[in-house]
Amino acid sequence: MTLTIVSDQIETYLESQVPPRPAEMQDMEEYAWRTGFPIIGPTCGYLCYQMTRINGARQVFEMGSGYGYSTAWFARGVQENGGGTVHHVVWDAELSQMAREHLKVLGYDGLIRYHVSEAVQTLRSMPGQFDLIFNDINKDGYPDALPVIKEKLRPGGVLLVDNVLWSGRIFDSHDQSASTQGIRRFVDMIESDPDWIVSTIPIRDGLMVAYKQG
């Protein structure tokens, strides 16, 4: 069972409200449409950029970065906040290489630190805390990532989590797959922890915005 989270009419309307992107980002969007690679897309990307600005984030850690599309939105926010670092983390060397090329053309070279590695382990090994963490790794990995994310996000930091509505599969009791179960467990864990203020925004495949108050 899959649900359309946002009707085509609303999706098109929301996307039309996103200001024009540089040609390189349009090429990245075009590549995703052509190949089916699951990028966050312009509406969700613009929201991630907006959250980066609202939070004043200078240190951003991305988990599951792909070929750098979501990274570009965070990098734009960090650049406009006065500079800092966005950690691009993906375990596919080829995607990391694609990201390096795109983000260089976009002028974000000096802001990005690249890791070709498993995202939760990499986050665990990082010194200090982050202003903003974005989680878009394999969904069965979501529950085990949460304690590490909580430790590595500063108080007052923002966590953004993609795919929390999972095309409506979370509502299907017959769906006991590791991915769907991973999202259900993650949502239960974070919503029952009073240190978080959590909202789910039903754009694209559901973006969770969680504020760490503790």
Fill in the per-residue mask, 156 to 195: x = in contact with ligand SAM (CB under 6 A), - = not in contact: ----------------------------------------
Q: Give, as ranges, the residues between 26 and 45 that touch ligand SAM (CB under 6 A).
A: 38-40
Q: How far apart (Å, rounded) are the C-alpha atoms in residues 63 and 119?
A: 5
Determine if 65 is a binding residue for ligand SAM (CB under 6 A): yes
| Signed CA dihedral, 88, 190, 46, 26: sign only | positive
Pairing of strands 130-135, 153-162: parallel
Q: How far is the CB of 89 from ligand SAM (least distance, A)?
A: 6
CB of residue 205 to ligand SAM, shortest distance in Å: 10
Does 138 bind ligand SAM (CB under 6 A)? Our answer is: yes
206 lines the binding site for ligand SAM (CB under 6 A):
no
Q: Is 118 in the site for ligand SAM (CB under 6 A)?
A: yes
Alpha-carbon gap, residue 90 to 100, rounded angstroms: 12
Which CB sits closer to ligand SAM, 2 or 213?
2
Which two structure tokens, joined as six digits, stand for 61?
A: 């850690």
Query: Residue 44 contacts by C-beta under 8 Å, 6 or more apart in sequence?
Result: 162, 203, 204, 207
